Amino acid sequence: MDKPLFGPFSRKGSYSRVEVIDSVFADRRFTTLFQEAIHPTEIDDLTLYRRYLKKGERVLFYGALDAEAFNTLCGEGYDLYMVESETELCANVDPRFRNRIYGFSMDVVDCFGEHAFESLVLPGTKISCYSRGELLLFLRRVGQLLTTEGTILCHIWNASHVRRVAHNVGSRRIDGCTVFYGSQVSGDQLILNLYLKDRNREKVGYAVQHLYEANALIDLARLCSHAGRTLYTGDTVTVLEFQRIS
């Protein structure tokens, strides 16, 4: 088996009765845990976005921002839109704002035209889901969404913090089911493993987050003609902004 499973999760995954799922979004309990894992608690979403976003600017979120934050900011007059392919991640968005959610970027371009957004935000540590190669491709393609002055806002885990706290194993009750989780750092990857038993069904899942140092990410972005700068460095996360070099 070549799945990124370790320790007890690997043992569980080796049993034929245990289903190994390749995407945490295939199970809502895994999704809940994963979404919490990639949303750092050091930064409050509302505080962050009220500070760095401007009303009157059109902003596109790629990936589900916390529904409560999305609803609140839209209600306050921020012109926000979201691309999120998984229906379940948009379930709690206020019906008044559901028209602002799109399933993929081509629909956004079809509906708004190219270069329609002043800002693209990757909420949580979404950018860490991309490998270096995927990031390069993303940065090359993203220009069709942004104005020439448009910016990309994202945050990354501080690798030193992750290496300190990884290797924890714990459990949570979610929807009446106990979900076990663990994390491990392997090279420049943070690997999250999950396991649950629900009546007679057992599942193991995994997710991989790529760890980047801020300077390395800024150097990578420069290869795709994007200038980057650090907006905030905290104990656990760093907030970065990128802009196309004209």
Partner 1 sequence: MENHTENHRAFEQVCLQFVELVVPEDMLDFVNEQTVVDVFHQSVYQRLYQGKRSRVKLSFVRQSHGRHERVFLTIRELDAPHYEVRAEGVFRDGEIWLDHVRK
Binding site for partner 1 (CB under 8 A): 23-28, 62, 83, 85-88, 98-99, 102-107, 110-113, 134, 137-138, 141-142, 144-145
Rounded-to-integer distance, Cα 242 and Cα 217, Å: 10
- Give the residue with the Cβ less far from partner 1, 120 or 162: 120
CB 242 → partner 1: shortest distance, Å?
Answer: 14
Closer to partner 1 by CB, 105 or 189: give it: 105
User: Cβ of residue 96: shortest distance to partner 1, in angstroms?
Assistant: 11
Minimum CB distance to partner 1, residue 94 (Å): 14
Between 164 and 201, CB nearer to partner 1? 201
Sign of the CA dihedral with 160 first, then 23, 101, and 136 last: positive
Minimum CB separation from partner 1 for residue 9, in Å?
Answer: 19
Residue 4 main-chain phi, psi, to 5 deg: -75, 70
Pairing type for strands 189-198 and 201-210 reads antiparallel
CA–CA dist 160, 235 (Å, integer) = 9
The tokens describing 56, both together, are 């009157």
Task: Name the token pair of 102.
Answer: 């799109």
Give the separation between CA 50 and CA 146, rounded to whole angstroms: 20
- We find the least distance from the C-beta atom of residue 112 to partner 1, in angstroms, to be 7
Residue 128 or 158: which CB sits closer to partner 1?
A: 128
Nearer to partner 1, 14 or 23 (CB): 23
> Whole-angstrom Cα distance, residue 207 to residue 211?
13
Q: What is the DSSP letter of 63?
A: S
Q: Is the dihedral of CA 115, 129, 62, 53 positive or negative?
A: negative
